[in-house]
Amino acid sequence: MIDVPHGLAAAQAKANGDAGQAFVAALPTLAAQFLQRWDLRLDGTPMHGRCALVLPVTSTADGTHAVLKLQLLDEESAGEPAALRAWAGERAVRLLRHDEPTGALLLERLDPTRMLTHVPDPHEAVLVIARLLADLTATPAPAGIRRLGDIAARMLERTPQALTRVEDATARRVLADCAAALREVAGEPGDRLLHWDLHFGNVLAADRAPWIAIDPKPLAGDPGFDLWPALANRFDAADVRRRFDAMTDVLSLDRPRARAWTLARLLQNALWNIENGARPASQDLEIAHRLSDDRTWPRRRP
C-alpha cells in the first residue's frame, strides 16, 4: 500500500479542492491497480510535485526501470501523452505506456537526483532550457493539443473584468500594457508544440542525454509563450533582460514578438491570481517592467 506524500495531498487540496482530495484518496488503489495491470513492482521512494505522484518501478517481465506517473486528468495534463509521443524521446522523456481513461503514464526512468535546479550557475541553466526549447518547439503540435490562439482570445475577454478587481494603479497599468501587447500578436498565435512549464525542476539528467524535459502541459502556439518559467525560476530581477536576450538568441526568435508573448504569459498568471482573489505576483510585475524599457526596443510600427 502506498502512502501519499503529505506535500502532494496538501497541494491538491489547495489547488483542486474536493476533486483534489478525492484524487488523493483514490491514489493508493489506483497505484496498486496499475502495478498489477502493467506488471510492475515498486522499487523506490514515491516522488511528487504539486500535481503528480511518481513511483519508481521495475517491469517484472523484462527488468526495465521506469516510473509510474499518476495525476488528476484535467485540460492541462490531458495533452501530456500526445506531446511526449510527438517528441518521441527527442529532448523529452519517453512515454512507454498510457491509459486513456485515467491518464496514468509509464515513463522512462531518468535520474531524479540530477535536476537542472542544482546547476550552480543560473545562466548556464537558462541556456540549457533555451536549447531544449529550441528543439522541442521545432516540432509542430499534433492534433488535439490545446491552442494558444483560443487561450489568448479568452484571456483578452477576461481582462477588462479582472482589471476592475486590481486596486493598485501601477499593477493595473502594467497588466493593461500586457493585454495591449497580446492584442498585437493574438492574430498569429503559432502552431509549434510548446511545453508551457519548462522550469529548472522539470529538467532531469539521464545516461542517454545530459538533460531531458519532463512534465509538459502542452499547447500549440508561439515559442515566445514558453520563455517565462526560466525568467521567473531562481528569480533575479537584474538578470531578466539578459536571460530573455540569451533565450531569444538561441531560439532565433523575433524579440518584439517574443516580448509580446512573454507579457501575455504574465497576463495569464495575473488573471489566474486575480480570479482566485489574489493579487498579481509582484515578481511577474517586475519581469514585465524589466521587459518594458522602451529605449531598448525597436519600434514595430513607425
Catalytic positions, written as ranges: 197
Q: Which of 110, 141, 274, 285 binds ligand ADP (CB under 6 A)?
A: 110
Question: Which neighbouring-strand residues pair with 174?
Answer: none
Of 149 and 218, which CB lies nearer to ligand ADP in the complex structure? 218
Of 27 and 214, which CB lies nearer to ligand ADP in the complex structure? 214
Q: Smallest distance, Å, CB 108 to ligand ADP?
A: 6
Q: Smallest distance, Å, CB 297 to ligand ADP?
A: 34
Instruction: With H, G, I as helix, E, B as strand and everything else as coil, classify residue 213.
Output: strand
Closest-CA residue to 204 (of 3, 100, 49, 70): 49
Q: For residue 25, give the H/E element and its range.
A: helix 6-37
CB 69 within 8 A of CB 110: no
User: Does 5 interact with ligand ADP (rule: CB under 6 A)?
Assistant: no
User: Does 28 interact with ligand ADP (rule: CB under 6 A)?
Assistant: no
Q: Binding segment for Mg ion among 11-19, 200-208, 239-247, 265-273 (CB under 5 A)?
A: 200-208
Of 33 and 269, which CB lies nearer to Mg ion in the complex structure? 269
Query: How far apart, in whole angstroms, are the C-alpha atoms of residue 58 and residue 66?
Result: 6
Of 77 and 262, which CB lies nearer to Mg ion in the complex structure? 77
Of 88 and 237, which CB lies nearer to ligand ADP in the complex structure? 88
- Which class for 99: exposed (0-12), middle (13-18), buried (19 or more C-beta within 10 A)? middle
Residue 98: Cβ within 10 Å count: 17
CB neighbours of 246 closer than 8 A, spacing ≥ 6?
123, 126, 127, 130
Query: How far apart, in whole angstroms, are the C-alpha atoms of residue 128 and residue 130?
Result: 5
Q: For ligand ADP, how many residues bind (rule: CB under 6 A)?
A: 20
Q: For Mg ion, how many residues bind (rule: CB under 5 A)?
A: 3
User: Does 202 interact with Mg ion (rule: CB under 5 A)?
Assistant: yes
User: Does 215 interact with Mg ion (rule: CB under 5 A)?
Assistant: yes
Residue 31 backbone phi and psi in degrees, to 5: -60, -45
The option from Mg ion, ligand ADP, none interacting with 47 (CB < 5 to 8 A, set by class) reads ligand ADP
DSSP letter at 103 equals -
CB 288 within 8 A of CB 178: yes
What is the footprint of ligand ADP within residues 38-67 (CB under 6 A)? 47-52, 54, 67
CB 215 within 8 A of CB 202: yes
Q: Which of 28, 44, 112, 256 binds ligand ADP (CB under 6 A)?
A: 112
Contact residues for Mg ion (CB under 5 A)? 49, 202, 215
Site residues, ligand ADP (CB under 6 A): 47-52, 54, 67, 69, 93, 107-110, 112, 201-202, 204, 214-215
